[in-house]
Amino acid sequence: MKIVESPTKVPRTIKLNSADNIVVAVDNVEKGASSSGIVANARVPRGHKMAVVAIAKGEPIRKFGQIIGFAKAPIQPGDWVHEHNVEMHDFARDYAYCADAKPEEILPASQQATFEGYRRANGKAGTRNYIGILTSVNCSASASKFMAEEINRSGILNNYPNIDGVVALTQANGCVIDYRGVIFDTLKRTSWGYATNPNMGGVVMVGLGCEGFQIPRFKEAYNVTESDTFRTMTIQETGGTRKTVDAGVAAIREMLPTVNAVKRETIPASELLLALQCGGSDGYSGITANPALGAAVDILVHHGGTAILSETPEIYGAEHLLTRRAATREVGEKLVDIIHWWEDYTRRNQMEMNNNPSPGNKLGGLTTILEKSLGAAAKGGSTTLTAVYRYAEPVKAKGFVFMDTPGYDPVSATGQVAGGANILCFTTGRGSAYGCKPTPSIKL
């Protein structure tokens, strides 16, 4: 990356790769100003792109040394490069499966970093110690929230310093679904993932009673029984909302001593499972916060930990960089199959993959999904891609992995938490208010 230094009051620009035919404006470049030896033909806002060579109609526009779009009209040196003169269409990508894959050098346990976490009975480790109230259907959402509010307002948690809180985790589905279908399977997998996330010390599951997502069927599927840290109930069987709230509060109160008995202890960083998210991205995200997080991911993998990259529509156009890092051809092909599914899905629903950059992304300098994806993929660092997972599947592989999720941050992060993520790092350019329980979300 070459930063072009200029005299005082002369705007700065960055050329990220020698193959690029654009530069990124560090400062606002006013019309007529000179930077990188080029005179701006129009105002180029900070974070946006300016052409440094002539680009003929149809020729690729390159940033990070990669194609981010094509000129839909002739572009002259000094032109502002954005939606008005850039288009996107499909182009051949060389997946080069496993070309850059390499065995990772993992530090011996004695040299690995550590953190203070909660060791669970099943051997997993958490960074938090919550009691969660899960719902099997939207009809029980209010009752679940009332339970959490009553406990949190009562002040009783002051007597249990090892408990981080009681949180209601509701969902808007659970009924009018076929229990043999993919929607039911996804909901079941996600609910179980939250119930068993290592940041959960105890769980109360609340249903209405007549919903499609039956709690008894759920318990049977995962061979789980009631215990001092797992309780279930339905509003219809308990006798109404008020009685259910009272029963739920009583169950939580009974759990408190057991959940509080678990104390923080020193645990190796190899047991961190880091979820990667970005939102409110701008033209700087792919050259600042995202690659910085990627460098941290490489360090975590070096210490034996795991990182989950997700948001499939936001790695679209950069997937060939990930397939090159795939540990096996099977892993790489699984990722490409997911990309093809999304292409087919958007085509059938009369949408397009390039509709992903939001108005805020575009105001911040991102023009196409290809450009956004190249920056987003930088969160994943440079280590070998060891596995690819469906939404909310339990993540069992170590190292750098990918999970198929939508691009919408809350939905994407939900899948990662269900997969077992015990910490989340969220990069943002323009700002994001997203928070997460039971997994802490650290903003960069």
pLDDT tens track for 415-439: 999 999 999 999 999 999 999 999 9
Q: What is the pLDDT of residues 376-405, one digit of tens each?
A: 999 999 999 999 999 999 999 999 999 999
User: Quick one: 140 exposed, middle or buried, by C-beta within 10 A (0-12, 13-18, 19+)?
Assistant: buried
Question: What does the block give as tokens for 46?
Answer: 């900070």
pLDDT confidence of residue 90: 82
Domains of the chain with bracketed CATH: 2-87 (2.30.130.110), 130-261 (3.40.50), 267-443 (no CATH)
Query: Which residue from 370, 371, 355, 359 is spatially nearest to 283, judged by alpha carbons?
Result: 371
Four-point Cα dihedral 145, 150, 156, 162, nearest 10: 0
Apex 401 CA angle, 396 and 403, nearest 5: 90
Position 1 pLDDT exceeds 80: no
Rounded to whole angstroms, how far apart are CA atoms 293 and 270? 17
pLDDT in tens, 166-223: 999 999 999 998 888 899 999 999 999 999 999 999 999 999 999 999 999 999 999 9
pTM: 0.95
The rounded distance, in Å, linking the Cα atoms of 442 and 420 is: 17
Mean pLDDT in residue range 223-230: 96
Distance of CA 441 to the CA centre of its chain: 10
pLDDT band at 139 (very low <50, low <70, confident <90, very high): very high
Say which range, 119-128, 170-179, 295-304, 339-348, has the weakest mean pLDDT: 170-179
Half-sphere CA count of 347, side-chain side, radius 13 A:
6
How many H helices and E strands in the chain? Answer: 11, 23
What would the pLDDT profile of 349-382 be if each residue is shown by its tens digit? Answer: 998 887 778 899 999 999 999 999 999 999 999 9
